[in-house]
């Protein structure tokens, strides 16, 4: 089953929207129009929620084996469509084709595999004395996802929700809807019952707000900005529904004196620029010993200059950022760094040399940054890194924790006892020591204004379950 981009997937069929509003999807690489995406209104949201509510009665009663069969079929179909999904993400949000195939599409596979594994080992019932303790699907879920990791953020929610026995309405960003539409087609092809999975697109302040306050939605899971997370929580509060949030970050990468500081600085720039810097866990604050600052400027500039920028379908390291709005925001933050007195080591405002179209950002490095500067406080969400000097370990930990965010942290330290001690002191949800790999089996989520709840594996599955006790069951 293949669908055009002008419909919603509701109750097992592709249907025309009630709303006549559309969003013109622009290819960020060349600024050409790609498609017109429908923007849901309240009537569209109501139709999708109603379908999910009706389907919940039967789908919530399916067996573990029935859901495992459906998820395994979905995984098979996803892997067969892997290259197509990767290319759709290049088109819709500008990630490079090599990165899309290696990471953006791969995480969809990883999250499906982990949801299947979590469902296989989950204990749904146990006895405590004469009382049965059972875990049951929470109900109808609204899944609100951003544009920067289209498959990661959608599948990390949809897979455990489907595994738990929930029904759902997915609302991906209108800025990266093509891969999400393809995922909805795959859900249909896998044979999930009508109404279990519903797909709409729309503005956060319209469709997202309607979903968040809807009395028949039992849970909202959102990944996005802290501003969006707060708006969802406020709207959801009236009906006291569960809200899980994976929000912004301003992660620190602490480089200790006992490592190869040059290598750590170069690697730190590379890590910040992954996905063109459009990652909530990007290590965008590079904390280095104060006495290394002058040398670090040279190393960081060389690392930044090694990132060629251009057509994401070609063999380049960086493509464009997602859209004009994001491009302008990044430009304003780069200018703020200049105006506030940080040393511009590489990059800066304007398009990279030789590029006249597309939303391309120069790989940018600021040094001599203090933690009160705008570029150290706000999430830039682009290829921009801030080098901040510190005097002592305590000073580094203080700077790292001096933020409203608490999503991720990075530590480069040869002394593993010291690295582990620093890790315990950081107020963040996820930490990577000495370049450790990202693992889909590990929980992911944040402290403070980076959100609440945890995704991945059994932690993600548990988010979509309620706990019931039945006394006298025995």
**In order along the chain (474 residues), what is the average pLDDT of each group of 10 residues?**
80 97 98 97 98 98 98 98 98 98 98 98 97 98 98 98 98 97 98 98 97 98 95 97 97 98 98 98 98 98 98 97 98 98 98 97 98 98 98 98 98 98 98 95 97 96 98 95
For this structure, is 439 an active site residue? no
- H or E stretch including 125? strand 125-128
Domain boundaries defined on the chain: 8-247+450-470, 252-445
Handedness of CA 391, 394, 400, 403 (dihedral sign): negative
Question: What is the spatial distance between Cα 474 and Cα 462, in angstroms, rounded to a whole number?
Answer: 25
pLDDT at 4: 72
pLDDT at 1: 42
* Pairing of β 8-10 and β 13-15: antiparallel
Q: Please classify residue 356 by burial: count the beta carbons closer than 10 Å to its beta carbon, then call 0-12 exposed, 13-18 middle and 19+ buried.
A: exposed
- H or E stretch including 324? helix 324-339
pLDDT at 3: 55
Q: Which residue has the tokens 């000495």?
A: 434
- H or E stretch including 165? none
CB 21 within 8 A of CB 38: yes
CA angle 219, 225, 226 (to 5 degrees): 80
CB 242 within 8 A of CB 142: no
Closest CA to 249 of 280, 206, 209: 280
Question: What is the spatial distance between Cα 173 and Cα 180, in angstroms, rounded to a whole number?
Answer: 9
| Topology of the domain comprising 8-247+450-470 | Aldehyde Dehydrogenase; Chain A, domain 1 (3.40.605)
Question: What is the spatial distance between Cα 333 and Cα 223, in angstroms, rounded to a whole number?
Answer: 22
Q: Please classify residue 12 by burial: count the beta carbons closer than 10 Å to its beta carbon, then call 0-12 exposed, 13-18 middle and 19+ buried.
A: middle
Please identify which of the residues 113, 280, 413, 455 carries the catalytic annotation. Answer: 280
CB 464 within 8 A of CB 122: no
Question: What is the spatial distance between Cα 363 and Cα 301, in angstroms, rounded to a whole number?
Answer: 9
Please identify which of the residues 185, 246, 379, 458 carries the catalytic annotation. Answer: 246
Interaxial angle between packed helices 82-93 and 150-164, expressed in degrees from 0 to 180 and rounded to the nearest 10: 130
CB 327 within 8 A of CB 321: yes
pLDDT at 380: 98
The C-alpha R_g of the chain, in whole angstroms, comes to 23
Question: What is the spatial distance between Cα 241 and Cα 232, in angstroms, rounded to a whole number?
Answer: 11
CA angle 121, 123, 126 (to 5 degrees): 155
Q: What is the DSSP letter of 441?
A: T
- The whole-angstrom distance between residue 115's C-alpha and the CA centroid of its chain comes to 17
For this structure, is 246 an active site residue? yes
| Topology of the domain comprising 252-445 | Aldehyde Dehydrogenase; Chain A, domain 2 (3.40.309)
């Amino acid at each position: 089953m293949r669908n055009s981009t002008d419909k919603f997937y509701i109750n097992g069929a592709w249907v025309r929207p009630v709303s006549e509003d559309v969003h013109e999807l622009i290819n960020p690489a060349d600024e050409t129009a790609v498609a017109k995406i429908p923007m849901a209104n309240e009537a569209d949201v109501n139709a999708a929620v109603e379908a999910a509510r009706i389907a919940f009665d039967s789908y919530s009663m399916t067996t573990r084996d029935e859901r495992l069969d459906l998820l395994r079929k979905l995984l098979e179909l996803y892997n067969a469509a892997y290259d197509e999904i990767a290319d759709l993400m290049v088109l819709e949000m500008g990630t490079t084709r090599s990165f899309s195939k290696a990471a953006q599409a791969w995480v969809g596979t990883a999250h499906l595999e982990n949801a299947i594994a979590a469902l296989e080992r989950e204990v749904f019932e146990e006895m405590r004395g004469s009382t049965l303790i059972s875990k049951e699907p929470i109900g109808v879920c609204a899944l609100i996802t951003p544009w920067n990791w289209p498959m990661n953020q959608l599948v990390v929610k949809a897979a455990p929700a489907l595994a738990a026995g929930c029904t759902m309405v997915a609302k991906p960003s209108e800025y990266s809807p093509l891969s999400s539409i393809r995922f909805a087609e795959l859900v249909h092809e896998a044979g999930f019952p009508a109404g279990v999975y519903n797909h709409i697109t729309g503005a956060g302040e319209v469709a997202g707000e309607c979903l968040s306050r809807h009395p028949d939605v039992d849970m909202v899971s959102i990944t996005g900005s802290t501003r969006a997370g707060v708006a969802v929580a406020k709207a959801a509060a009236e009906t006291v529904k569960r809200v899980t949030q994976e929000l912004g970050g301003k992660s620190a990468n602490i480089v200790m004196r006992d490592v190869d500081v040059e290598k750590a600085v170069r690697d730190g720039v590379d890590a910040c620029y992954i996905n063109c810097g459009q990652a909530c866990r990007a290590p965008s604050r590079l904390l280095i010993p104060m006495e290394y600052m002058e040398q670090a400027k040279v190393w960081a500039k060389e690392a930044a200059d090694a990132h060629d920028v251009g057509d994401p379908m070609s063999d380049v390291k960086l493509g464009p950022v997602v859209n004009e709005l994001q491009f302008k925001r990044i430009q304003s933050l780069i200018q703020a760094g200049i105006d506030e007195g940080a040393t511009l080591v590489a990059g800066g405002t304007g398009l990279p040399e030789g590029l006249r179209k597309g939303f391309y950002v120069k790989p940018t490095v600021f040094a001599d940054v203090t933690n009160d500067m705008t570029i150290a406080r706000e999430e830039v969400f682009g290829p921009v890194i801030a080098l901040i000097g510190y005097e002592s370990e305590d000073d580094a930990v203080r700077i790292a924790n001096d933020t409203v965010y608490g999503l991720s942290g990075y530590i480069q330290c040869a002394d593993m006892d010291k690295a582990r001690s620093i890790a315990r002191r950081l107020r963040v949800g996820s930490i990577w020591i000495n370049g450790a790999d990202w693992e889909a089996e590990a929980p992911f989520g944040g402290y403070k204004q980076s959100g609440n709840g945890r995704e991945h594996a059994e932690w993600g599955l548990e988010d979509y379950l309620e706990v019931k006790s039945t006394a006298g069951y025995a």
